[in-house]
């Protein structure tokens, strides 16, 4: 049996506030689905962030319903989990995947659980912050490992950053050693670039995103998905072709004239108006000196953005390919200010999370710190709300 592993599609994302980019995200996902079906897959697993938000606009939800109806009509089953973007955190709200599940278009594992498709055992859990992973492990992982050991072939789905796939310390949610045992394929989501490795005797992979969500992804990644063969236990990588081009240029005041002329030729030759992102490093010559070339590039582009980096003489911050996340910036600042370690950890989690997660993250932090006193503290504070 062939199983397509797709992840981080972010349907409904109006990147750069452009409706064309929202359509690009949908078309990339549809292209992945069509390619998977044409290659003879019987099952599609989606490991989270199918939608950019747990409350997508109605046009996006309508498009998704039509597409998943088509997938079902072609005899392909879909099993999905929620990611950090599309999981519901407030009571009384319905996740978009739950809508698709209620329409019997997908099977939705939420918050954690398992199912079978024919002889294939599938287990998984949605995105949880790092603070909740121990509780999820305690409740589910032993059972998952036991069932996977009994099954001939098995898949474990998760939407978590593994420790060895993030470039900065303590930003991961789960370690490789914490994953359950005995699975044939470990299907990860949340990391937007493609990775493959052997984990606990099985194949592990992040398929990456179906469309670029950031400049860093466009610089180092390729858009695509994976196909896992349950008989041979082999993984096939499928790159998506024909999507909107992304050009990410790193240049400086010495190389800019030549680099920008070459970029202009690439932009003009593109089959679709591309997204163009330029990192420009300088000490004296500001980027406005190349306004003519940049104007020509912009005319043929969907979107152009230039990031300027002024290099001061004697600066200890050289221009590099590495950019810091907001969480990294906060952590570095907080540690320099000698804030308490617990404040640094909580602040990093809050900055890294979405707006919807802040209440949950703070509550979980207080639970871990206050222990048995948490409920009393909560009742006390509610009296003043």
Please report the pLDDT score of residue 224 as a whole number.
97
pLDDT band at 331 (very low <50, low <70, confident <90, very high): low
Please report the pLDDT score of residue 147 as a whole number.
96
Instruction: State mean pLDDT over 183-202.
Output: 95
* Per-residue model confidence as pLDDT tens digits over 98-132: 999 999 999 999 999 999 999 999 999 999 988 89
The answer, yes or no, to whether residue 67 has pLDDT greater than 80, is yes
CA gap 52, 64 in Å, rounded: 12
CA gap 85, 62 in Å, rounded: 19
Please report the pLDDT score of residue 385 as a whole number.
39
CATH 3.60.21.10 residue window(s) in the chain: 2-239
Q: Does domain 246-310 have CATH number 3.20.20.70?
A: no
Please report the pLDDT score of residue 74 as a whole number.
96
Which of the two residues, 354 and 236, has the higher pLDDT score?
A: 236
CATH 3.40.50.80 residue window(s) in the chain: 246-310
% pLDDT > 90, the chain: 69
CA gap 105, 184 in Å, rounded: 26
The answer, yes or no, to whether residue 40 has pLDDT greater than 90, is yes
Summary mean pLDDT of the chain: 87
pLDDT band at 349 (very low <50, low <70, confident <90, very high): low
Instruction: State mean pLDDT over 138-150.
Output: 96
Instruction: State mean pLDDT over 367-385.
Output: 55
Instruction: State mean pLDDT over 72-76.
Output: 97
Please report the pLDDT score of residue 368 as a whole number.
59
Q: What is the largest CA-CA distance in the chain?
A: 67
% pLDDT > 70, the chain: 81
Check: CB of residue 56 under 8 Å from CB of residue 96: yes
C-alpha 385: how far from chain center: 36
The answer, yes or no, to whether residue 84 has pLDDT greater than 60, is yes
* Per-residue model confidence as pLDDT tens digits over 264-273: 999 999 999 9
Instruction: State mean pLDDT over 283-302.
Output: 94
Check: CB of residue 36 under 8 Å from CB of residue 225: yes
**Distances from the Cα of 233 to the Cα of 121, 201, 237, angstroms:** 14, 11, 13
User: pTM, whole model, 2 decimals?
Assistant: 0.81
pLDDT band at 346 (very low <50, low <70, confident <90, very high): confident
User: Lowest-pLDDT range, 98-112, 247-261, 361-375?
Assistant: 361-375
Q: Does domain 2-239 have CATH number 3.60.21.10?
A: yes
């Amino acid at each position: 049996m062939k199983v397509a592993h797709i992840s981080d599609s972010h349907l409904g994302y109006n990147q750069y506030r452009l409706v064309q980019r929202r359509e690009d995200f949908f078309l990339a996902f549809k292209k992945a689905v069509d390619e998977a079906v044409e290659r003879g897959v019987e099952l599609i697993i989606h490991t989270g962030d199918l939608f950019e938000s747990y409350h997508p606009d109605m046009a996006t939800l309508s498009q998704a319903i039509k597409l998943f109806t088509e997938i079902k009509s072609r005899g392909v089953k879909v099993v999905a989990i929620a990611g950090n973007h599309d999981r519901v955190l407030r009571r009384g709200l319905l996740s978009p995947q739950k809508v698709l599940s209620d329409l019997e278009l997908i099977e939705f594992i939420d918050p954690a659980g398992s199912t079978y498709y024919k002889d294939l055992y599938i287990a998984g859990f949605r995105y949880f912050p790092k603070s909740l992973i121990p509780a999820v492990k305690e409740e589910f992982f032993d059972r998952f490992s036991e069932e996977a050991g009994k099954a001939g072939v098995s898949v474990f789905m998760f939407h978590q950053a593994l420790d060895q796939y993030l470039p900065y310390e303590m930003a991961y949610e789960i370690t490789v050693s914490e994953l359950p045992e005995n699975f044939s394929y470990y299907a990860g989501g949340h990391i937007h670039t493609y990775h493959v490795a052997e984990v606990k005797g099985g194949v592990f992979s992040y398929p990456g995103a179906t469309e670029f969500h950031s400049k860093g992804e466009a610089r180092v990644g390729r858009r695509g998905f994976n196909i896992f063969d349950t008989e041979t236990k082999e993984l096939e990588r499928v790159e998506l072709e024909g999507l909107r081009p992304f050009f990410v240029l790193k240049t400086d005041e010495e190389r800019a004239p030549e680099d920008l002329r070459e970029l202009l030729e690439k932009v003009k030759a593109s089959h679709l108006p591309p997204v163009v992102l330029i990192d420009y490093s300088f000490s004296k010559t500001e980027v406005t000196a190349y306004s003519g070339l940049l104007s020509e590039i912009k005319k043929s582009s969907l979107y152009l953005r230039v990031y300027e980096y002024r290099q001061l003489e004697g600066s200890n911050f050289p221009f590099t390919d590495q950019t810091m996340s907001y969480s990294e910036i906060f952590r570095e600042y907080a540690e320099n200010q000698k804030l308490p370690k617990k404040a640094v950890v909580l602040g990093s989690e809050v900055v890294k999370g979405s707006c919807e997660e802040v209440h949950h993250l703070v509550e979980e932090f207080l639970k871990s710190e206050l222990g048995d006193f948490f409920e009393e503290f909560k009742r006390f504070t509610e009296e003043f709300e």
